Structure 1
Amino acid sequence: MSSQVVQNNRENAEIYTGAQICTEKSRQLLDEISLPKGLLPLDDLVEVGYNRATGFVWLKQNKSKQHRFNRIGKTVSYDKEVTAVVENRRMKKLTGVKSKEFLIWVTISDIFINESNPNSITFANPTGISRSFPVSAFELEEEEEGKK
């Protein structure tokens, strides 16, 4: 089952299916927009789509997933479907991603790296409240090993 916004963006989109190619394409996309490749640690991806004309991206997985970013001590929840509009160093109008703050889940609507501080990545919620963390906390573990 697909959301209406995904249906509206399917035409002229690059669409990939299958776990291995979807994981590869999701990492390529993050690299292309200059965001850390570990930002979307999704398992069991079944479809990845990218409409370059609109910047709209969607990632579908078989089941929702929680991931703990150990370097910052944060747990993030990813729904079965994650969507965003992407541009260089930014994912906006993000859906399907929540961060656990104390005991509540907070919706994340915007992720960006500010040009004035390229080592920091900021996560904002729909009310405009935001928090920043080191970009390095979202690198893929195997890439981090290669830098040591």
Structure 2
Amino acid sequence: MAEKDGGIVKKGHEEGTKMAVALLEEFGLPLGILPLVNISEVGFVKATGYMWIVQENKVEHNFKMISKLVSYDTEIHGYVEKYKIKKLKGVKAKELMLWPPVNEIIVDDPSTGKIHFKSLAGVTKTFPVEAFAAGQ
């Protein structure tokens, strides 16, 4: 896949998790935003900001602070930039009975302590950033 050309790739859970956490920190994103369970590969193309994570199984994670169930596919990918993930694929948040895909994640800059999740349907949900801190 051309998007992955020139990418740095880390294989295995331990190396993949380290790289994913380092990228989230570098771009000012909350560390708990991706559950990172049984990772087999993480990749990043510095030139374009394209990032991908491959995990062994689909993961559902409940963010308790905001009572939000989020589903993460076996492959998650998107473009990372400061305080933002764009063209995100592989992440869905439960809304009533529906699972609309999350397309974009934005952290306010300068910080207001808020994070915004946009879906392709044009719906934006805003939550406190701390709801997605590591360990939530």
> So what's the TM-score if we normalise by structure 1?
0.88
Q: Which of structures 1 and 2 has the bigger CA Rg?
A: 1
Structure 2 counterpart of 1:63: 57
Asked which structure has the greater RCO (Cα within 8 Å, sep 6+), the reply is: 2
Structure 2 counterpart of 1:46: 40
* Structure 1 gaps, min length 5: 1-6
Structure 2 counterpart of 1:25, which letter? M
- Asked whether 1:98 is paired with 2:97, we answer no
Alpha-carbon distance between aligned partners in 2 of 1:97 and 1:73, rounded to the nearest angstrom: 16
CA RMSD for the aligned pairs?
A: 1.2
Q: CA deviation at 1:9?
A: 2.2
* Partner SS, residue 109 of structure 1: strand
Alpha-carbon distance between aligned partners in 1 of 2:111 and 2:125, rounded to the nearest angstrom: 14
Structure 2 counterpart of 1:132: 126
* Of 15, 22, 41, the match for 1:21: 15
Structure 1 counterpart of 2:24: 30
Alpha-carbon distance between aligned partners in 2 of 1:97 and 1:60, rounded to the nearest angstrom: 12
> So what's the TM-score if we normalise by structure 2?
0.96
Which is worse superposed, 85-94 or 10-19? 10-19
Structure 2 counterpart of 1:72, which letter? I
Alpha-carbon distance between aligned partners in 1 of 2:110 and 2:125, rounded to the nearest angstrom: 16
* Structure 2 gaps, min length 5: none
* Partner SS, residue 100 of structure 2: strand
Aligned residues: 136
- Asked whether 1:118 is paired with 2:112, we answer yes
Runs of 4+ that moved beyond 4 A: none
